[in-house]
Structure 1
Amino acid sequence: MNAWWLAHAGPTRLLVVAALLLVLLLCQRAWPTRGEAPARGRRWRNLGLAAVSTLLVTLILPLTAVAFAWQMTTRGVGLLAMVDMPAVLEFAVAIVVLDLAIYWQHRWFHVVPQLWRIHRVHHSDLQFEVTLGLRFHPAEIVLSMLYKFAVIAALGPSLAAVAVYEMLLAAFALLTHADVAIPHAWDRQLRRVLVTPDWHRVHHSVHRDETDSNYGNFLSLWDQLFRSRIEQPRDGHRGMQIGLPGFRAAQEQTLIALLRQPLADDPLLPANRQ
């Protein structure tokens, strides 16, 4: 089974992402919450940034998270390798702990000024729809991968757990950024455990207190547990403004500008907050 994951985890993840992206693009047209027409070239820029990030990560890091997990497993490294528990329970623990780790990674990218400069490329998008889930600076992807390597080494999860969580991470990045209207009664129940588009949209508000909330990727439990949740945006989901106040000009939304953005100062923030 480990051999199957090593050979097929990457292609399977790519297939899941491509299929889900197509489905959500169609769903956004049929059942939108905001229904904004995409700015000219915006989706292609987001896809282009994702392509650059993927290429650079492939060149810089020779191992995927699944391959790294295999190396750690064969060496018996990590906490779970030292604990005897049923495979199903070990799998579930690994998924939950990996998601907790990603919650804190996301939160640190907001708190540490140098990391925020990189992460704000994701937040400077002026619209909230599914391709925003692909808009991350290459430096953030590289740092995220190195962080995951450290978590995997400490935890010692199985290949299956890492592969499945990598797919969940990618799938929920698309799902939670999709401009898809979920009935309020369903959303109210789902968000008790899972991150929904309405839950995560608050995180992309121009208001800084709302931006610094709702960090969860897959499970909403962490925002509830660590008191970082905001249930609804103050301006309403249809009326709220998306993006960052200091990066709204058209020339700041080009692919080259997005790649350079971590080096640029935010004119609306004090130096110690950038």
Structure 2
Amino acid sequence: MQDWIIQYEPQVRMSVFFGLLSFLFLVQQCFPRRPLSGSKLYRWGNNLGLVFFNSFVMRVFIPTTTVAVALWVEQKQWGIFNVWQPNFALQVILSLLLLDCLIYWQHRLFHSVPVLWRLHRVHHMDQNIDVTTGSRFHPIEIALSLFIKFIAVLLFGVDAVAIILFEVILNGTAMFNHANLRLPLTFDKWLRLLIVTPDMHRVHHSQRPEETDSNFGFNLSIWDRVFRSYVDQPRFGHEKMRIGLREFTDAKVTQSFIGMLVSPFQTSRHSVKKKAS
């Protein structure tokens, strides 16, 4: 089974990605949490266009993957897990927890360091939030995130199967918690005790800085609770809260394909002031 997962890793990841994207896209149309503003087709096309562009850029300029690095590390017997050699199930569980915590802190880092925020704000400039927002990132941020995961694999000796499972979970939960999806409030209340729900993560996309700098988790909600970055609800409620960044309101920048690519290299005194405050 492990060999099969590794052999067909690209097919597994692509099948889950497109299957879940299609499912959540349809479900959020049936049970929307908020009305979407602006041209939906234009926004969806550019958000998804950035996803495919990023995939192309990564394949051209970074000719390796986290799975390939994990297999190489296993061959060299480097990393904590290769020295410790716990049983496979325990190693997978610990790897998923470690990587999930790593992504939480990576996310906080991209909010805290001004030059990294310039990259990450491409994700936050979206003036709506739905399943397509979950994969909307600048290619340089994607590359930096990939190198951070490379380092984690080297240090911990993460198994290739654990990496594949983590990437599938990360992509899946990112789409889920960005979905414009209305869940029953009681169900949301209990579900967010374990994982990040759409209502929980939507707070993170508020224009209010104190809400933007909260709820950093992508999968497990425990990290926001443990590290005291959890905010239960937006101040003005989910229907009235304003999504995006106050300093970026022009759709030519926030929603256009070229605008998203060049945004990190444009100066905004408001965004600099925000991160310095």
Sort the TM-score into its range (normalised by shorter chain): over 0.9
Aligned-pair distance for 1:47?
Answer: 0.6
> For the residues of structure 1 that align with 2:139 and 2:205, how far apart are their CA atoms?
20
Which residue number corresponds to residue 75 of structure 1?
A: 76
For structure 1, which runs of at least 5 residues remain unmatched after alignment?
none
> For the residues of structure 2 that align with 1:12 and 1:262, how far apart are their CA atoms?
33
**Most deviating of 221-230 and 29-38:** 29-38
Q: Note if contact 2:209-2:274 (Cα within 8 Å) is conserved in structure 1.
A: no
Which residue number corresponds to residue 230 of structure 1?
A: 231
Which residue number corresponds to residue 140 of structure 1?
A: 141
Which residue number corresponds to residue 261 of structure 1?
A: 263
State the Cα deviation string for residues 39-85 of structure 1 (Å, max 9, x = none).
24000000111111111111111111111111111111111111132
Instruction: Evaluate the alpha carbon distance shift between residue 38 and residue 166 of structure 1 in structure 2; reply closer, same or farther with a 3 A threshold.
Output: farther
Q: 1:269 aligns to what SS in structure 2?
A: helix
Q: Note if contact 1:66-1:159 (Cα within 8 Å) is conserved in structure 2.
A: yes
> For the residues of structure 2 that align with 1:269 and 1:35, how far apart are their CA atoms?
27
Aligned-pair distance for 1:272?
Answer: 8.1
Which residue number corresponds to residue 103 of structure 1?
A: 104
Aligned-pair distance for 1:37?
Answer: 5.2
Aligned-pair distance for 1:249?
Answer: 0.7
Q: In the alignment, residue 259 of structure 1 is paired with which amino acid?
A: L
TM-score, normalised by the number of residues in structure 2: 0.95
Instruction: Evaluate the alpha carbon distance shift between residue 271 and residue 237 of structure 1 in structure 2; reply closer, same or farther with a 3 A threshold.
Output: closer
Instruction: Evaluate the alpha carbon distance shift between residue 181 and residue 137 of structure 1 in structure 2; reply closer, same or farther with a 3 A threshold.
Output: same
Instruction: Evaluate the alpha carbon distance shift between residue 271 and residue 181 of structure 1 in structure 2; reply closer, same or farther with a 3 A threshold.
Output: closer
For structure 2, which runs of at least 5 residues remain unmatched after alignment?
none
> For the residues of structure 1 that align with 2:271 and 2:102, how far apart are their CA atoms?
28
Q: Kindly, what percent of the aligned residue pairs are identical?
A: 39
Which residue number corresponds to residue 128 of structure 1?
A: 129
> For the residues of structure 1 that align with 2:33 and 2:188, how far apart are their CA atoms?
13
Which residue number corresponds to residue 8 of structure 1?
A: 8
State the Cα deviation string for residues 155-191 of structure 1 (Å, max 9, x = none).
1111111110010011011001001111111111111
Q: Note if contact 2:174-2:218 (Cα within 8 Å) is conserved in structure 1.
A: yes
Aligned-pair distance for 1:257?
Answer: 1.0
Q: Note if contact 1:28-1:35 (Cα within 8 Å) is conserved in structure 2.
A: no
> For the residues of structure 2 that align with 1:68 and 1:2, how far apart are their CA atoms?
16
- RMSD, aligned CA: 1.4
TM-score, normalised by the number of residues in structure 1: 0.96
Matches within 5 A, 1:11-22: 11-22=11-22
> For the residues of structure 2 that align with 1:104 and 1:131, how far apart are their CA atoms?
23
How many corresponding residue pairs?
Answer: 274
> For the residues of structure 1 that align with 2:237 and 2:167, how far apart are their CA atoms?
32
Matches within 5 A, 1:197-236: 197-236=198-237
Q: In the alignment, residue 214 of structure 1 is paired with which amino acid?
A: N
The structure in which a higher percent of residues are helix is 2
> For the residues of structure 2 that align with 1:137 and 1:12, how far apart are their CA atoms?
24
Q: 1:176 aligns to what SS in structure 2?
A: helix
